[in-house]
């Protein structure tokens, strides 16, 4: 893989961007930019497969965009991208290729095609068998037990694609090692109608193994109570790269995947089994086709019209030049309610790093905090801060043109809210404008000018709006792949390894050391806070 020889903050383009930011990039005003350029919307519109993006309400101009594209070139983005698609071991700290794109490539079109399509065909065959037998005489409930990448993707996608799901099947997702997660799920189940999927790339993750053991124990005891044989082999399926561990658990039907599929990039692999059961083989292939179309766009579109690249470059602009620390994602579609949680792992586990590929400390910031809730709910919670708070938070709106329900009036209101929010963030309201309005609940004693200052909106707050025609397996596949490649883009510019996650290891190791102390009470060698809390939690 091409080694990043030049750090992004040592490139000519970075220096030029710094100069541009100080000279006038910092002062760019969206209201003026729109007034001066009637074609701004078209100029900053990008059409990618299934996803249209309005990038015009961002704090940039043509000069910014040109310099950011130059930065991408000087940081070797295209060479790194091509190395990923080719299967070079770009995940250097784990010595692995990064080939989630191969999971959605047509037969013969990417590395490992034979293995990928053999498992995919078998997986989809299994999904169809479960669907065919679904109902009062077969399975009624599917429980996915997994965490992180073995949970967030399928959970988010099953919820997103509910209108396409088999009507006789209910889906449950258990991830937390907190027994409050699995207990209510088990309470509503009948063992003879339940299929458990134990999803874990490593098949060693503490939370998943503990919950899987609880589920098996529950299943066996329930079957015994009913006087029927506990057919674990029929009711438990494993999805893992660790086939021997799954076999040791008592699972006979297992779907494998490979170490070149990162956990947070694994929805397209056998980890997608709950989704495949929910929507069926044909729709799952549509999801893959949507993602593949986005892969081709990322691989082939010129950088200035390449949507994942443009979004990744905006992330760099906001994080490293404006200094914005977070980005809010507001999907105006209830089906996408879990998308922000999914994106938290995708973006923050990938790009929450502070050394470059060579292990050198970085001199610049990396991943923003990513957070959000579906609209319009967020409007009645934290949008106050987005409009009038002291921090600027770029917002990403996701609008879906066609709903999957018949309440057109609700949908029109939803979309009007979505547009109104990005408009309000941009336009703001001056104190003079506020003073000219009649305040709905003005205090008789409060000076009118003081009240107007409370009712002022600074405006000029940036946002991006992504538009899908409808939320389908194909468009969801494209949307998720868009985010994956956007994360790749900013990670490549920052010169980091977006595909390892060493930062989660220390807590796991310390937890394993603490576990026996809960039984023994031994606090020797612990810091005073941990020792004090241990004593309190044990008493």
Q: Is 201 in the site for ligand F6P (CB under 6 A)?
A: yes
Report the site for ligand F6P in 377-406 (rule: CB under 6 A): none
Cβ pair 277, 131 in contact under 8 A: yes
Question: Measured from the CB of residue 271, what is the shortest distance to ligand F6P in angstroms?
Answer: 8
Are 240 and 256 contacting, i.e. CB atoms less than 8 angstroms apart?
A: yes
Q: Does 153 bind ligand F6P (CB under 6 A)?
A: no
> According to CB under 6 A, which residues from 496 to 515 bind ligand F6P?
501, 504
Which of 195, 205, 199 has its CA nearest to residue 166? 195
* Residue 292 bears catalytic tag: no
User: 255: which strand partners?
Assistant: 239
By the 10 Å C-beta count (0-12 exposed, 13-18 middle, 19+ buried), 155 is classed as: buried
Contact 447, 409 (CB under 8 A): no
Minimum separation from the CB atom of position 292 to ligand F6P (A): 22
**Stretch binding ligand F6P (CB under 6 A), from 44-52, 143-151, 459-467, 514-522:** 143-151
Task: Determine, following the binding rule CB under 6 A, whether residue 147 of this chain makes contact with ligand F6P.
Answer: yes
Q: Does 148 bind ligand F6P (CB under 6 A)?
A: yes
The CA-based angle 23-25-26, given to 5 degrees, is 90
Determine which one of 24, 42, 224, 380 is catalytic: 380
Does 491 engage in binding with ligand F6P (CB under 6 A)? no
Give yes or no for a contact between 89 and 357, defined as CB atoms under 8 angstroms apart.
Answer: no
Please give the DSSP secondary-structure letter assigned to residue 455. T
In whole angstroms, what is the distance from residue 335 CA to residue 344 CA?
17
Asked if 349 is an active-site residue, the reply is yes
Count residues near ligand F6P (CB under 6 A): 14
Q: Which of 402, 405, 341 is nearest to 374 (CA)?
A: 341
In this structure, are residues 19 and 260 in contact, taking their beta carbons and an 8 Å threshold? no
254 lies in the site for ligand F6P, by CB under 6 A: no
Specify the stretch interacting with ligand F6P by CB under 6 A; choose among 200-208, 220-228, 428-436, 443-451: 200-208
246 or 478: CB nearest ligand F6P: 246
In the complex, the smallest distance separating the C-beta of residue 533 from ligand F6P, rounded to whole angstroms, is 23
- For ligand F6P, the binding residue among 144, 200, 460, 497 (CB under 6 A) is 200
Inter-residue contact 91 to 500 (CB < 8 Å): yes
- At residue 172, φ and ψ (nearest 5 deg) are -130, 145
Rounded least distance, CB 216 to ligand F6P, Å:
17
User: What tokens were used for 33?
Assistant: 């930019």
| C-alpha neighbours within 13 Å on the C-beta side of residue 66 | 5
In the bound state with ligand F6P, the residue whose beta carbon lies nearer, of 263 and 462, is 263
Cβ atoms 197, 274 nearer than 8 A: yes
Q: Which stretch binds ligand F6P (CB under 6 A): 12-20, 128-136, 141-149, 294-302?
A: 141-149
Q: Active site residue: 349, 373, 396, 484, which one?
A: 349
* Least distance CB 286 / ligand F6P (angstroms): 25
**Contact 384/340 with Cβ under 8 angstroms?**
no
Q: Does 155 bind ligand F6P (CB under 6 A)?
A: no
Identify which of 351, 290, 255 has the alpha carbon closest to the alpha carbon of residue 101: 290
CA-based radius of gyration for the chain: 25
By beta-carbon proximity to ligand F6P, the closer residue of 56 and 205 is 205
Site map 207..246 versus ligand F6P, x via CB under 6 A: -x--------------------------------------
CB of 206 to ligand F6P, least distance (A): 9
Near ligand F6P by CB under 6 A: residue from 57, 155, 264, 485: 264
To ligand F6P, the closest distance from the beta carbon of 153 in angstroms equals 9
Tell me: does residue 263 bind ligand F6P (CB under 6 A): yes
419 near ligand F6P (CB under 6 A): no
Distance CA 307, CA 449 (A): 44
Residue 481 phi/psi, 5° resolution? -60, -35
| Residue ranges in 428-524 assigned as alpha helix (H) | 431-435, 448-454, 473-494, 505-520
Q: Tokens standing for 61?
A: 């101009």
Nearby residues of 269 by Cβ (< 8 Å), 6 or more positions away: 100, 103, 119, 239, 257, 258, 261
- Give least dist CB 174 to ligand F6P, A: 13
Cβ proximity to ligand F6P: between 354 and 385 the closer is: 354
Question: Of 11, 74, 113, 202, which one interacts with ligand F6P (CB under 6 A)?
Answer: 202
Distance CA 349, CA 500 (A): 8
We find the least distance from the C-beta atom of residue 239 to ligand F6P, in angstroms, to be 9
Q: Which residues are marked as active site?
A: 349, 380, 508
Contacts to ligand F6P by CB under 6 A: 147-150, 200-202, 205, 208, 263-264, 349, 501, 504
């Amino acid at each position: 893989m091409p080694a990043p020889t030049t750090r992004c903050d040592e490139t000519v383009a970075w220096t030029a961007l710094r100069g541009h930011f100080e000279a006038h990039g910092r002062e760019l005003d969206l209201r003026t930019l729109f007034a001066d350029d009637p074609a701004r919307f078209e100029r900053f519109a990008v059409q990618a497969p299934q996803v249209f993006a309005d990038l015009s309400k961002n704090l940039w101009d043509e000069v910014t965009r040109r310099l950011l594209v130059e930065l991408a070139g000087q940081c070797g983005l295209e060479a790194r991208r091509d190395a990923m698609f080719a299967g070079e071991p770009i995940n250097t700290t784990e010595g692995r290729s990064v080939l989630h794109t191969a999971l959605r490539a047509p037969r013969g079109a990417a590395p490992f095609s034979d293995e990928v399509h053999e498992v995919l065909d078998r997986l989809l065959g299994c999904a169809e068998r479960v669907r065919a037998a679904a109902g009062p005489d077969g399975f009624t409930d599917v429980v996915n037990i997994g965490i992180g990448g073995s949970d967030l993707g399928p959970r988010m996608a099953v919820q997103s694609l509910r209108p396409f799901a088999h009507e006789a099947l209910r889906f449950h997702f258990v991830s937390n090692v907190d027994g409050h997660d699995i207990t209510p799920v088990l309470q509503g189940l009948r063992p003879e109608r339940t299929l458990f999927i134990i999803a874990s790339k490593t098949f060693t993750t503490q939370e998943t193994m503990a919950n899987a053991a609880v589920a098996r124990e529950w299943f066996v005891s329930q079957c015994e109570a009913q006087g029927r044989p506990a057919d674990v082999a029929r009711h438990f399926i494993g999805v893992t790269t660790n086939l021997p561990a799954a076999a040791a658990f008592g699972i006979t039907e297992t779907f494998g995947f490979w170490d070149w599929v990162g956990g947070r990039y694994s929805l397209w692999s056998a980890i997608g089994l709950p989704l495949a059961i929910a929507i069926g083989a044909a729709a799952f292939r549509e999801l893959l086709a949507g993602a593949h179309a986005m892969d081709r766009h990322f691989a082939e579109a010129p950088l200035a019209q390449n949507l994942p690249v443009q979004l990744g470059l905006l992330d760099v602009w906001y994080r490293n030049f404006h200094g914005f620390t977070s980005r809010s994602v507001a999907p105006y579609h209830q089906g996408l309610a879990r998308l922000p949680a999914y994106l938290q792992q995708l973006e923050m586990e990938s790009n929450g790093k502070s050394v470059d590929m060579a292990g050198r400390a970085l001199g610049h910031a990396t991943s923003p905090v990513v957070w959000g809730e579906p609209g319009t709910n967020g409007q009645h919670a934290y949008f106050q801060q987005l409009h009038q708070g002291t921090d600027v938070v770029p917002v990403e709106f996701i609008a879906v043109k066609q709903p999957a329900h018949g309440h057109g009036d609700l949908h029109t209101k939803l979309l009007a809210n979505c547009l109104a929010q990005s408009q309000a963030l941009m336009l703001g309201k001056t104190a003079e404008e506020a003073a000219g309005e009649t305040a709905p609940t003005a205090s008789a004693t409060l000076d009118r000018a003081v009240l107007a200052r409370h009712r002022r909106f600074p405006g000029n707050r940036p946002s991006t709006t992504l538009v899908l025609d409808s939320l389908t397996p194909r468009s969801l596949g494209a949307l998720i792949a868009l985010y994956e490649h956007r994360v790749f883009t900013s990670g490549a510019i920052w010169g980091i390894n977006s595909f390892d996650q060493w930062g989660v290891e220390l807590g796991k190791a310390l937890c394993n050391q603490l576990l026996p102390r809960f039984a023994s009470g031994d606090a020797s060698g612990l810091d005073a806070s941990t020792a004090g809390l241990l004593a309190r939690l044990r008493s």
